[in-house]
Amino acid sequence: MKKWLLVALLSSSAQAYEPDRDQILRFEPSPFQNTELNCQRDKDVVPRRSDLVLDHYALLAADNGERVATVTVTNSAGGQRMFNQEHIVAIMADCSRIYPLSFELTLAAGQQETFQIYFGRRAQPVLQLISSH
């Protein structure tokens, strides 16, 4: 009796959560990661000058248009620094430039960290991320 109850509970809890397929993030190719894009649109939207080094990133997107990036950054300064959404800019497929949604990160000298940044729902995919190091 107890076995059946446990199986019933486990199977009902496994069926209780079914993610919305439109919200599932999938990796997108990043063919422009090490290429200089010459997009002229929104050329005045630039990352704030800082000691933030954008080491690597992976782009993700959902069918509902949600755009996310998993980034690895390093503080190249000799002391602790605070970084936020003004330090990274995304170049979109239509050559527009946007800042990610608000975030704040404090890194010690030389510290490296990997985290996610969000760009909200966008019709255009992200082509490239840039920082101003």
Give the CATH number of the domain where residue 113 resides. Answer: 2.60.40
What's the rounded Cα separation, in Å, for the pair 25 and 37?
Answer: 25
Overall average pLDDT of the 92-96 stretch: 94
Residue 5 lies in a domain: no
Domain count, the chain: 1
Domain limits for position 59: 22-131
Residue 93 lies in a domain: yes
| Residues of the chain by 3-state class (helix, strand, coil), percent to 5 | 15, 40, 45
Overall average pLDDT of the 51-61 stretch: 96
Residue 2 lies in a domain: no
Residue 50 lies in a domain: yes
pLDDT over threshold 70, residue 6: no
Give the containing element (helix H, strand E) for 29.
none
Residue 98 lies in a domain: yes
pLDDT of residue 86: 97
Residue 12 lies in a domain: no
Burial (CB count <10 Å: 0-12, 13-18, 19+), residue 108: exposed
pLDDT of residue 36: 85
pLDDT of residue 39: 85
Contact (Cβ atoms closer than 8 angstroms) between residue 35 and residue 23: no
Residue 7 lies in a domain: no
Residue 106 lies in a domain: yes
Sheet containing 88-92: order of strands:
97-98, 88-92, 126-131
